[in-house]
Amino acid sequence: MSAIDELVAEFARLPGIGRKTAQRLTYFLLKQPGESTARLSRAVAALSERVRACSRCGNLTEADPCAICTDPRRDPSVVCVVEEASDVLAVERAGEFRGHYHVLGGRLSPLDGIGPDALHLTALLARMGPGSLVREVIVATNPSVEGEATAHFLERLLRPTGAAVTRLARGLPVGGELEYADSVTIAQALQARRTMGDA
């Protein structure tokens, strides 16, 4: 495969990038000075070299534990559970939440063969064990069918720990994704969160 074809194929694998856009990006890079493309390839390489998952919460970080887990101004008694590390960014952007996070690394999706074993649940339960400071778990999985199923699974799983399990209020677009929700909507959904398991 030629260098051009190879890069086009790599770009085309990215979310939201079709074959045409992949070609446009590749030809754009061909016209750039060598130093500019070298900078891009260094930045891409640095991702896998320097970024890893926080051993405590699963958030993406260069320092382990991450800056959120080690921030003394944050409240360790509230943990916000999200599907992906990109959702941490979305909730942080809303500026409403001052607790800790737990990244599941996905959501339950039986049709895709994604069961509880595929999610970082052992680490979550470990954080909720004896002597845990966690008093509330806010389930902030996406308002999709899979996200809701995951939320209910978590509620049943965490019930024995005695911590309150709450869910973001409705208002987030159903079937939408947290990552793309605006900050005001996320802040409101956090403020109006409701306890799960009462119904």
Q: How far is the CB of 88 from Zn ion (least distance, A)?
A: 9
Beta-bridge mates of residue 190:
none
Q: How far is the CB of 73 from Zn ion (least distance, A)?
A: 15
Query: How many residues contact Zn ion, by CB under 5 A?
Result: 7
d(CA 197, CA 199): 6
Cβ nearer to Zn ion, comparing 104 with 172 = 104
Beta-bridge mates of residue 114:
109
Cβ nearer to Zn ion, comparing 57 with 108 = 57
Both tokens assigned to 146: 């899979």
Q: Count CA atoms within 13 Å of residue 68 on its CB side.
A: 25
Q: How far is the CB of 144 from Zn ion (least distance, A)?
A: 25
Residue 123 interacting with Zn ion (CB under 5 A): no
Task: Give φ, ψ of 83 to 5 degrees.
Answer: -75, -50
Cα-based distances in Å from 75 to 17, 51, 98:
39, 25, 6
Cβ nearer to Zn ion, comparing 49 with 64 = 64
Q: How far is the CB of 179 from Zn ion (least distance, A)?
A: 18
Q: How far is the CB of 100 from Zn ion (least distance, A)?
A: 7
Burial (CB < 10 A; 0-12, 13-18, 19+), residue 185, is middle
Strands 52-53 and 60-61: antiparallel
Cβ nearer to Zn ion, comparing 108 with 123 = 123
126 within 8 A of 102, measured Cβ to Cβ: no
Dihedral of the alpha carbons of 146, 163, 71, 127, in degrees to the nearest 10: -80
User: Checking phi first, is residue 196 left (phi over 0); if not, alpha (psi -120 to 50) or beta?
Assistant: beta
Cβ nearer to Zn ion, comparing 55 with 195 = 55
Q: How far is the CB of 59 from Zn ion (least distance, A)?
A: 5
Cβ nearer to Zn ion, comparing 76 with 176 = 76
Scan residues 27-86 and list those touching Zn ion (CB under 5 A): 54, 56-57, 59, 65-66, 69
Scan residues 141-170 and list those touching Zn ion (CB under 5 A): none
Question: What residue ranges bind Zn ion (CB under 5 A)?
Answer: 54, 56-57, 59, 65-66, 69
